[in-house]
Structure 1
Amino acid sequence: MTKPVVVGLDGSPSSLDAVAAAAHEAALRGTQLRLVHAFGAPPLHALAGGPAWNPAAAGVRELLDGTLTAAERRAHEVAAGIDIARDVTVGDPLTVLEIASRTSALVVVGSRGLNAFGSLLLGSTAAHLAAHGRCPVLVVRGRRNPAGPVLLAVDDAPASEEAVRFAFAEASLRGADLNALHVCRTGSPDSYDGPADPPFVTSSENHLREHAEQVLKDALSGPQERHPHVTVRRMPLVGRVRHTLVEASADARLVVAGARGRGGFTGLLLGSVSQALLHHAHCPVAVVRHRQ
């Protein structure tokens, strides 16, 4: 059976936007859309002066039914004939979605959520899943340009390989062009994005651009042969890496970036470029983790 597209719900406007994007992705793939709503266990102690926690009295069942019904309605507005499954689970949302990612083609979440007990904290959820998920994670943010290209952030590390394959597949599904961008930083302080940048280099801009062109050639040649119908624009640039990618996302329908998949901290797993895109990109961002 084809793996489903999973979307995390919490009833917020952001999660409904994620449902719309997930429905579109499931329709493109011809697969099932799985709506996942996870809520935590009840608090150990009732709030001071308040009644004991009671799911029925709190209207949890009605809340869930309303959230799921609204999500299904939104999904069918995007893809009328799509197959939808509901999955309501008691548990930590981060853990539930991470487990779901093991058997999914794609996990979709919004960039912001409800900051309340029992909700998906989608800001932290997005970063956590991007770092630890077992499948590509799509974070719905900004506004996509429906006629724009898929923008691929190409790295010269193995972490980029799976992101490159995913980006070609997404461009093919959408009938979109693929803009593949690799940015080399100069030794100028103007190209310094922040403390996460590598040390200054002293190479000339011509040398750096030649290096960027070679990185793109090496990364794209194989996948481009497998997707000859995808129009690819190679963009070897010199400048501020994160700033350049965020600016380029303004005209894109989707940005794809890799995650290194090393270390035990979210920042190390994602890298500064992926984190910057998750926080500042102008359109949805797909993070594809390299699985060693």
Structure 2
Amino acid sequence: MAATNTAPVLAAVDETDASLRALDWAADEAVRRRRPLRIHHVFDWPMRHSDPRGLPGFNQDEYALRVIDPAERRARERAPGLAVTANFHVGDVAPRLLLEAARADLVVVGSRGLSSVGAAALGSVGQELAASARCPVVVVPDRDPKPPTGRIVVGVDGSAPARAAAAWAFAAAEERGAAVRAVAVHGRVSHGPWSPLDLPAALRLGPADEAAAREEAGRLLSESVAGERERHPGVAVEEVVAAGHAAQLLVDEAENADLLVVGSRGRGGFAGMLLGSVSRTVLSHAASPVAVLHAADV
């Protein structure tokens, strides 16, 4: 893991309200983690390989300062005493933020914005950060915060990324005085982002196979959280085994959670493939902030 004890919580900001919601979450998290907060804005000039300094009536430094100065004031007002720095660069947004993330403890972005093609369901930069950053990434939804529930949900499937997610979720719960709801999902379903839950009869598991799948999911769940229970004895834990589509069930669980934590087990050379279908879907649809962990993140 690249982070050190002084590595900051990195908040990526732009001119959108979504990034300000993410900034608020990042400031609160920096206080909880006793980390400094670093605010960063990347100005992505449409003619990305040229410098707009010579454009009449436009000054890129003044434009960037109109983004980061209010963001810095907002963070200082929200968390008096928190060490806050703010900076900006001109260039390609995702590569620049990935460089900044290499020196961060955690990256926080909004679920909209930070995209050169406008506000998509999940900004393309947010997706790339979640797929490729060398530290955990939290994506904060573009909606008003909900009242705290005192619950963190983590998806567990026995994989290395899911074990990393469980370790991070338990540590986060201990910091907050929250409970962990660990969820394992079983069943034969398509891996598409919103696939039908009702499979053809020929593909459905019979009662015996269904019971075996549930038992195996429960075993993997218990094994995955056993070590974390020992390391965090003060954290209340609820283990849940459910049948269905993993992404939809986790999105449903996020409705009553302060945070949803998932591991990314995607593969391939593109951000979407690196992120994995379940992680990609919950990032776009969950009502709570979503933390994405890779196996090397803890």
Q: CA deviation at 1:113?
A: 1.2
Give the distance between the partners of 1:285 and 1:291, measured in 2 at CA.
18
* 2:133 counterpart letter in structure 1: G
**1:194 aligned partner, one-letter code:** S
Which whole-Å CA distance do the structure 2 matches of 1:68 and 1:139 have between them? 19
The size of the alignment, in residue pairs, is 283
1:49 maps to which residue?
Answer: none
Shift of the 56–36 alpha-carbon distance from structure 1 to 2, 3 Å rule, reads farther
What is the letter of the counterpart of residue 264 of structure 2?
A
Q: Does 1:75 align with 2:86?
A: no
In the superposition, relative to structure 1, how do residues 276 and 200 fare at CA in structure 2: closer, same or farther (>3 Å)? Answer: farther
Listed one character per residue, the Cα deviations across residues 19-49 of structure 1 (whole Å, up to 9, x for unaligned) are 1011011101111100111123562799xxx
Aligned-pair RMSD on alpha carbons?
3.0
Moved more, 218-227 or 240-249: 240-249
Residue equivalent to 1:61: 61
- 1:99 alignment counterpart: 99
Preserved CA contact (<8 Å) 1:148 1:251: no
Q: Which structure 2 residues correspond to residues 1-292 of structure 1 after superposition, within 5 A? A: 1-41=5-45, 43=47, 54=54, 57-113=57-113, 123-141=123-141, 142=143, 143-186=145-188, 193-194=194-195, 200=203, 202=205, 204=207, 205-260=210-265, 262-291=267-296
Give the 3 Å change call, closer, same or farther, for CA 164–56 of structure 1 in structure 2. Answer: farther
CA 1:163/1:203 → structure 2, altered by over 3 Å: closer, same or farther? Answer: farther
Between 143-152 and 36-45, the greater mean CA deviation after superposition: 36-45
The one-letter amino acid of 1:226's match is R
Preserved contact between residue 26 and residue 33 of structure 1 (Cα < 8 Å): yes
Change (3 A) 1:76 1:53: closer
* Alignment gaps of 5+ in structure 1: 47-51
1:89 alignment partner, SS class: strand
The CA distance in 2 between the partners of 1:68 and 1:206, in whole Å, is: 54
- What is the CA distance between 1:76 and its match in structure 2? 2.2
Contact 1:40 1:91 in 2 (8 A): yes
Query: Structure 1 residues 230 and 114 mapped into 2: Cα distance closer, same or farther (>3 Å)?
Result: closer
For the structure 1 residues 124 and 44, does the alpha-carbon distance in structure 2 shift closer, same or farther, using more than 3 Å as the test? closer
Q: For residues 167 and 203 of structure 1, do their structure 2 counterparts lie closer, same or farther at Cα, with a shift above 3 Å needed? A: farther
Q: Describe the SS at the equivalent of 1:230.
A: coil
Change (3 A) 1:120 1:251: closer
List per-residue Cα deviations over 1:100-157 (Å, max 9, x = no partner). Answer: 111111000001116669x998711111011111000000004444124111011222
Tell me the CA shift for residue 68 of structure 1. 1.4
Q: Provide the C-alpha distance between the structure 2 equivalents of 1:193 and 1:111, rounded to a whole number of angstroms.
A: 18
**Greater alpha carbon shift after TM alignment, 95-104 vs 204-213:** 204-213
Q: Cα distance, 1:201 vs. partner? A: 5.9
CA contact (8 A) 1:42 1:53 kept: no
| Percent of aligned positions that are identical | 38
Q: 2: distance between equivalents of 1:89 and 1:277?
A: 30
Deviation at 1:180, TM superposition (A): 0.4
Contact 2:187–2:205 (Cα < 8 Å) also in 1: no
